[in-house]
Chains A and B, each alone.
Chain A
């Protein structure tokens, strides 16, 4: 089972890297989402894949011989919530940026660090 997971993680991380390196912000968001999920799967595999029995002790017993590891599940759950909220924020930010700037290409986003300024606002800052 583990090799399958690892291949899946590799494919996801590779695709994510490809998407993140493109200059289109929409692709970058998809890349972020994929990368986040690859990280979640990594967390899951790190906790070892074994039994899928729920880690709950039945009423008539005091210990549990074998069960799934609950910790990675807790970690993944937390990470999913966090990465989802951050991606939602990013999408809103990009929509707002697109509304104001009318660009999706990050190379053309030069408001904060202008390449060739016509005004003499920051003479030496022009060459970055």
Chain B
């Protein structure tokens, strides 16, 4: 039996060790990849261990350095946290496998340390139970993402990097200011303790101000309307595996922070719910319209990230347990599907030499297996049954109808259709139409050199199918996670009444 302290520390320790090891093997490319994969596998194992200990609904909590909550830094894992950590770990392993046969990566020894740094920051942000500590993990994640974004050093990347860095730094500073105000108003930083003390603030205007400041800071991280401009301006310049890990994890940390904050610290009031609902609807629409207007695979997919974030926010706006369950399932589904699409985009690029839909075509004959693998995440993203996206969308739309927010349900449905349109665009242009030029820009590499990439893509597609064809346990799990989110006293008790885990 592993102690809860170890369970909560291991998912942080694994990427940290990975970071150190991959830095040590700087000059040995093969060894570095192997170390990276091993660390990711250990990370996956620790995430599975964490999930198996929380899946029955227990909330694990630990305090570091023998300082009891609310004074020490708490790490907490409820169902939402452990699901997010597990999905992060799955992504870590998949990307590490993808890297095994990616020739782009050979010249970049910096990739693996930064990649593990990113995983470290993301996992920390998911697990921490302290709002200032969350700021610190955000920064760990950000500095790694800055490095990864400009890794290639091309003009495009440097330009995109400048904008990404500037906007993100301003927004995290706003987060810090919000933390300062919150501390000034309550005198505590522990999230469970905050949940107890914020309702006791006598000035309702102050609480609203604090809530809006946090929403602003997290919304820019999550790329919500109207704070999404940094995302399409920068993401499409990064190389495939980096893009996939960004698309999967970075915006989700913002969404996670919104879900956590607005269920625990600032429970959503009616007026606030309307604001979040409108933001969600506008996010869905702008994202999908941006995607519909582009002809570059990476840009289409980048805009889709924005539109899908809107769906996740619907659950926070409606705030019934079922809607929150929809958000949880949507986050999990979207991480897998979106990363998969970007990885497929990378293989298309390697096979044809271009991301531009106008310049490529005929892939259904050149790569029939890839065509099938593309269909699964593409149709899942659009929400066609029986794939994972259908169940996630159903869990989001049904409660919004129940709650009478018909405009959210209508927007979600229409955006689903438009998503299908832009996925069909990729399908028609890249796979179905006969090749625009008889020769691809790059000669077709033999299929064997794509082994790692196909394994990665097939794994993610298999997970999508697994959720889609057997949704029941996943829905049940999301419902349990949502029940924990709705009833914040369980979280609070787990953190504040759990004495320091000395076992």
Contacts and interface: CB of A to CB of B under 8 A. Distances in A.
Contacts of B163: 106, 109, 112
Contact of B295 (A20, A100, A122): A122
A106 B230 CA distance: 13
A95 B202 CA distance: 49
A122 B183 contact: no
Given A100-B155, A112-B236, A72 B183 contact: yes
Interface of B is mostly: helix
Interface string B149-169: 010010111111111011001
A106 B162 CA distance: 9
B329 interface: no
A46 interface: yes
A71 B180 CA distance: 11
B173 A123 contact: no
B296 A25 contact: no
A75 B169 contact: no
A46 B173 CA distance: 15
Most buried by B among A85, A106, A122: A122
B451 interface: no
Contact of B237 (A87, A96, A112, A125): A112
A66 interface: no
Contacts of A48: 184
A125 B156 contact: no
Contact of A43 (B150, B161, B169, B183): B183
Interface residues of A, number: 45
B169 A86 contact: yes
Contacts of A97: 158-159, 161-162
Given A46-B184, A94-B162, A109-B163, A123 B176 contact: no
B183 A25 contact: no
A87 to B, nearest CB: 8
Interface in A40-86: 40, 42-43, 45-48, 71-72, 75, 78-79, 82-83, 85-86
Contacts of A89: 143, 146-147, 165
Contact of A125 (B150, B181, B296): B296
Contact of B162 (A47, A109, A123): A109
A100 to B, nearest CB: 5
B162 A25 contact: yes
A126 to B, nearest CB: 10
A101 B180 contact: no
B166 A43 contact: no
Interface in A12-28: 20, 25, 28
21 contacts: A25-B162, A32-B170, A42-B176, A46-B184, A72-B183, A75-B183, A79-B176, A86-B139, A86-B142, A86-B146, A93-B162, A96-B153, A97-B158, A100-B158, A101-B159, A109-B159, A110-B159, A120-B358, A122-B294, A125-B294, A125-B299
Interface of B: 132, 135-136, 139, 142-143, 146-147, 150, 153, 155-163, 165-166, 169-170, 173, 176-177, 179-181, 183-184, 189, 232-234, 236-237, 293-296, 299, 356, 358
Given A35-B173, A93-B165, 5 more contacts: A45-B180, A45-B184, A97-B158, A97-B162, A122-B296
Interface of A: 20, 25, 28, 32, 35-36, 38-40, 42-43, 45-48, 71-72, 75, 78-79, 82-83, 85-87, 89-90, 93-94, 96-97, 100-101, 106, 109-113, 120-125
